[in-house]
Chain A
């Protein structure tokens, strides 16, 4: 079975500061992708960043970067220079190809507040 765990229900950061959201996962598959999705109050699920398991280099997208520790099955998201628009629920998700489906397994989410 595949699982994703987010142990921080809520986090808070000051505007312009850096915050790190934690995620651990478990899968027996060797071919998998990890994602961070952002869900603002509108509830539209927006892709933030993707990491392919076979890539050793950590993914970056502008102010967003990940720390992918494959052996430890850890996948944290770092948000630099936090902005008010970053306030949202953040979900860590895993998709693996162990069969015919590439379903996403989501964590329980981390609610990020950005203080002005």
Chain B
């Protein structure tokens, strides 16, 4: 079975631009979560979506938004990019929203110049 997939693998943007990251969950998983991992730190929670509804949001500015589609894939959008947005963006999927195992994709490495 295919695991969580993310695209693109790498991305280079300049300050002020906008970026869209994509994630496809494991087949049958209805929950998708997004995390930001700055180099040298643990991942920080950004969003969780379940059945196309936002179920949780971390301490990130409104420049960050996301959505989930009927096929449970998800997009993370970041507007007005700042240098500090440079990070590895990880997507994880799980079957449900209760305590459950989250499986991670390979991540998208975003560099903001």
Residues of A within 8 A of B (CB): 31-33, 35, 37, 42-47, 50, 52, 91, 93, 95-97, 99-109
Count A-B contacts at CB 8 Å: 77
10 A-B residue pairs with CB within 8 Å: A31-B99, A37-B104, A43-B109, A44-B107, A45-B43, A96-B99, A99-B56, A102-B33, A102-B97, A106-B44
> Among B37, B42, B97, B105, which residue has its beta carbon within 8 angstroms of that of A107?
B42
Contacting chain A: which of B17-25, B60-68, B74-82, B86-94?
B86-94
> Among A33, A45, A108, which residue has its beta carbon within 8 angstroms of that of B100?
A33
- Tell me if B101 and A103 are in contact (CB < 8 A): no
- Tell me if A106 and B42 are in contact (CB < 8 A): yes
User: Could you tell me the distance between the alpha carbons of A57 and B96 in the complex, rounded to whole angstroms?
Assistant: 24
What's the nearest-Cβ distance from chain A to residue B84, in Å?
19
Q: Which of B92, B103, B104, B105 has the most CB of A within 10 A?
A: B104
* Chain B, Cβ-Cβ closest to A92: B42
What's the nearest-Cβ distance from chain B to residue A46, in Å?
8
- Tell me if A52 and B99 are in contact (CB < 8 A): yes
What's the nearest-Cβ distance from chain B to residue A35, in Å?
7
Asked whether B58 is an interface residue with its Cβ less than 8 Å from the other chain, the reply is yes
Asked whether B73 is an interface residue with its Cβ less than 8 Å from the other chain, the reply is no
Determine the chain B residues whose CB is within 8 A of the CB of A108 once the complex forms.
41-42
Whether A45 contacts B90 in the complex (CB less than 8 A), given A100-B56, A103-B48, A104-B43, comes out as yes
Determine the chain B residues whose CB is within 8 A of the CB of A96 once the complex forms.
99
- Tell me if A43 and B41 are in contact (CB < 8 A): no
